[in-house]
Structures are given as structure tokens and as C-alpha cells.
Amino acid sequence: MQAPNHAERAHATWSASSAKRNMTCTGALGLILEVTKDWPEKSSEAADWGTCAHEISEACLRDGSDAERFIGETLKGKEHSFVVDEEMADCAQEFIDYVRSESEAPNTKLWIEQRFHFDDLKPPFDAGGTGDAVIFKPALKELEVVDLKGGRGVVVEAKGNPQLRSYGLGAVLANPGLDVDTVKVTIVQPRARHKDGPIRSETFTVGELVLWTSEMLAAMHKAKQAMDERATITGELSEEAWAEKWLVPGDHCRDTFCPVAAVCPALRTKVEASIGLYFDPITEAPSIKNAPDVGDPAQVGKYLDAADMIEGWVSSLRAHGHRMAEMGQPPTNYVLVEKVGREKFVDAEAEKKALAAARKAGVEDSKILNAPKAKSPKQIREAMKKKKADVSALEGLSTTPTTGTNLVRQDGTIRPAVSAVEQHFEAIKE
């Protein structure tokens, strides 16, 4: 079976994956819907990597194969493509092995990529999501939802996680008539280190889930209220008052990849306050009120506590500047330049010719092979140069593709700027 395409799936307005953000920051949903409505859809490399790992997992669970068979194949996420390597295959396989082990007992039922919605609860917006694997174990009267996380940057907790509870609730609603006492939610996150290991679970009773459901519904209605109040904003002052009333900045801005983090007034104010940053009213230059006291352990601890949130804000700001430039409005002093990818052989034939040329020049295989594959063109060229061999035999065998754009300071680059229009036409040509 081929890998299914997860990249084209649409998300519900209140998706399980945004439940933590929406339940922590009541105004987030309203702000996001308004601010991002004209933004082109973007997907990070990390998100696309995870999508491809999910596609491999689904294909293998459906046809009984192992992830290894995808190694070397190219899979496409929303924006980024990947040649499946061992790391991606291992990540998917850990999830596959866990799901298989939990679903092997007799009479166990398994649903793969099961979609669910909360329509029966009459939420104020469309709400739902997809459970990667849902397992019903009749002997235990337990319904388990297993969620694969491909990321390594944000370590996701299983306990008290609103996304996982949403999956648990969704699985109960999507499979009526099952005799369920407990719901177990499990995260498989092979690439991030956690003290409890890569596989972590939380189990709760159906009664506990019902209680949590009322909390979620209350949060949904508050979010709707915030959204409705947003529609009545008339000027800067009421915008500020709205932000103060409904927005709650914190680590979740980064951990949930809030799409408006770069432009969120509440997060910006919190970042500025955390480091004592202010903008000089005359020069508008940024300044820090007091030099950080790096000798005081308590003060350094306070700065470090804020570091994740600040880093999250900075990376969102970079992504936002990049998006503005792509839309034809680069931030002042910044330009888009081509992002140069890794040099690679043009095809398998070229790779063979390069290996033959290196061997003819007396280069040992250990210098040109990462068995069974060839090393990179650059490594082979360097190995030949060390043998004082003529490297002109390698000309035309490799190519250095451009892999998108980088946003850089105009006065800090010698690379020519590319315009958003050129980019647009390049994309069409492809």
C-alpha cells in the first residue's frame, strides 16, 4: 500500500490539536481566525516531517508491513518533501509496534486514523479531530487512543493534556455502543527525551471524561464570547482592553505553535516585561532597562523561565517576516534570498560515474562510501583532491538545488535578492 496523503486534510475550527491553546488563552481562536484569514497556508519543515511519519504509520498498520520498506522513497508534506531515512522509519515503527502490541489480544478492535466530531455536544463552532489509532479492548472495557508525535523540540506530556482528552472524548463519541469503563490516551514520541520514556499514557474513567467535557464546553462558549466581543472593537483602546481581557500569554504560545504569536499584543507585552525591554519613544530603538544581573542565581533563573516563551516569540517573528516578504511586503531592511540546498548527484548513473572516477584515482571505498550508498559529491571531491587527482571528471554529475528562500538583512548579504513575484513564477513552473 502507498502512503496515504495526510497533507491535504482540513482542520475543524476548534481542533483537538488546538484545544490546549484555546482552553488556556480564551481569545486565541478569535484572534487567529481574524488575523490569519488572508495569510497563505504555511507548513513548517518539522510539521511536514511529522505528517510523512504519520502517513508511513497508517500505510503499515493497514497492510501489515514495516516502516523500513519506505526508506529511500520520497514523501511530500504540505510544502516540504523528504526522502524517508532510518530516523523517520524508526519513529513510525515505534508507534506501529506499540499499536500492534496493544491490539493483538482476541476480540480487540482497531481503527486507524479515525475522524471524530463533537456535533452531538452542540459546540458553538465545528469541532473535532482525528485519532491516529483507536483501540477497544473488551476484556478490560478500555478504549485507548494512541497519538504519534514526530517532534523533538516540544516534549509533550500525556497527563492532563487537553488534546489527548479531546481524542479520548472523540473516540467515545465516534464508537457508540461499546462497553467502556476507562479511556486511556497514549503519546508515542520517539524523538524527544522525557523522564518517562518515549511512550507515556494517562487513564481516566468515563465519569472523569464527562466532567472534563463540561470544562471544554465552557471554554468553547467563553472563546465564542471573546470572538463576538472582538467583532465590536472600534479603536486602539478597545483593542487593548480586549487583549487584556481575553489573551493569556505563556509557554503554551510556543508549545502549541500559536500562529499569531508574532503579532499578538499580549505576548509581545509579556516578552518585553520579562526582559525589561522598551522602545525609546524618540529614536524608537529597542533598549533593555537594566543590564541583566547574571551574577544573581535567582535573576538568571527568572530569565531562563521566560526563555522558552521568548524564543518561541522570536521564531514566530522570523516566520512572520518571511511570510510578509513572500507576500510582497518585506520588513524594512530585509530581503529574500535563495536558500541553497545540499549538493547531490543528478541521478544514480552520475553517482556511479563519480564512484568509478574516485576508484580510478586510487581513493579507498571507506572515503567515498557510507555503505551501501555513495558519500556526498563534496566528500568524494575532497577525497579525490587529497589524492591529487583531477576532479574535472566530476563536473556535471552533481547539482546544488535551491530549496526555497531565507529572509536576511539587506546590508548583511552579498546574495542577490529574489522577489516574491519570481518565487511565485518559479513555483508555477515546477
Question: Residue 264, Cβ neighbours under 10 Å: how many?
Answer: 25
Between CA 172 and CA 164 the distance in angstroms is: 12
The CB-of-219 to ligand SF4 minimum distance in angstroms stands at 13
Shortest Cβ 25–ligand SF4 spacing (Å): 3
Rounded to 5°, the CA angle 254-255-259 comes to: 50
Choose between 248 and 420: whose C-beta lies nearer to ligand SF4. 248
- Measure the CA–CA gap between 183 and 177, rounded to whole angstroms: 14
Report in angstroms how near the CB of residue 262 gets to ligand SF4 at its nearest. Answer: 8
Stretch of 124-132, 199-207, 262-270, 356-364 contacting ligand SF4, by CB under 6 A: 262-270
> Of the two residues 259 and 377, which places its CB atom closer to ligand SF4 in the complex?
259
Considering only 16, 266, 383, 389, the residue that binds ligand SF4 (CB under 6 A) is: 266
Decide: residue 29, CB within 10 A, 0-12 exposed, 13-18 middle, 19+ buried: buried
Asked if 264 is part of the footprint of ligand SF4 (rule: CB under 6 A), the reply reads yes
Name the segment binding ligand SF4 (CB under 6 A); options: 110-118, 128-136, 249-257, 361-369.
249-257
Residue 418 binds to ligand SF4 (criterion: CB under 6 A): no
Rule CB under 6 A: which of 88-127 touch ligand SF4? none
Q: With respect to ligand SF4, which residue has the nearer C-beta, 21 or 149? A: 21
DSSP 185: E
Q: Which of residues 3-32 bind ligand SF4 (CB under 6 A)?
A: 21, 25, 28, 31
Pairing between β-strand 127-137 and β-strand 14-15 as defined by DSSP bridges:
parallel
CB 151 within 8 A of CB 50: yes
Q: Of 145-153, 156-164, 264-272, 350-358, which part binds ligand SF4 (CB under 6 A)? A: 264-272
Count of residues in contact with ligand SF4, rule CB under 6 A: 15
Number of neighbours of residue 110 by Cβ within 10 angstroms = 17
CB 61 within 8 A of CB 96: yes
Query: Which residues pair with residue 115 across a beta bridge?
Result: 130
Interface with ligand SF4, residue 164, by CB under 6 A: no
Please say which residue, 3 or 19, places its beta carbon nearer to ligand SF4.
Answer: 19
| Residue 146 in the binding site for ligand SF4 (CB under 6 A) | no
Residues 6+ apart with CB under 8 A from 429: none
Residue 256: CB minimum distance to ligand SF4, A: 7
Query: Which is closer to ligand SF4, CB of 31 or CB of 112?
Result: 31
User: To 5 degrees, how large is the angle CA 257–CA 259–CA 261?
Assistant: 85
Q: How far is CA 349 from CA 81, 262, 282, 355, 360, in A?
A: 22, 46, 63, 10, 16
Judged by CB under 6 A, the residue of 50, 123, 150, 249 near ligand SF4 is 249
Nearer to ligand SF4, 27 or 190 (CB): 27
CA–CA distance from 20 to each of 23, 146, 157, 248, 255 (Å)?
A: 5, 18, 12, 12, 9
x/- track of binding to ligand SF4 for residues 219-248 (CB under 6 A): ----------------------------xx
User: Quick one: which of 59, 253, 357, 363 contacts ligand SF4 (CB under 6 A)?
Assistant: 253
Place of cell 522602545: 279
Q: Which residues make up the interface to ligand SF4 (CB under 6 A)?
A: 21, 25, 28, 31, 247-249, 252-253, 258, 260-261, 264, 266-267
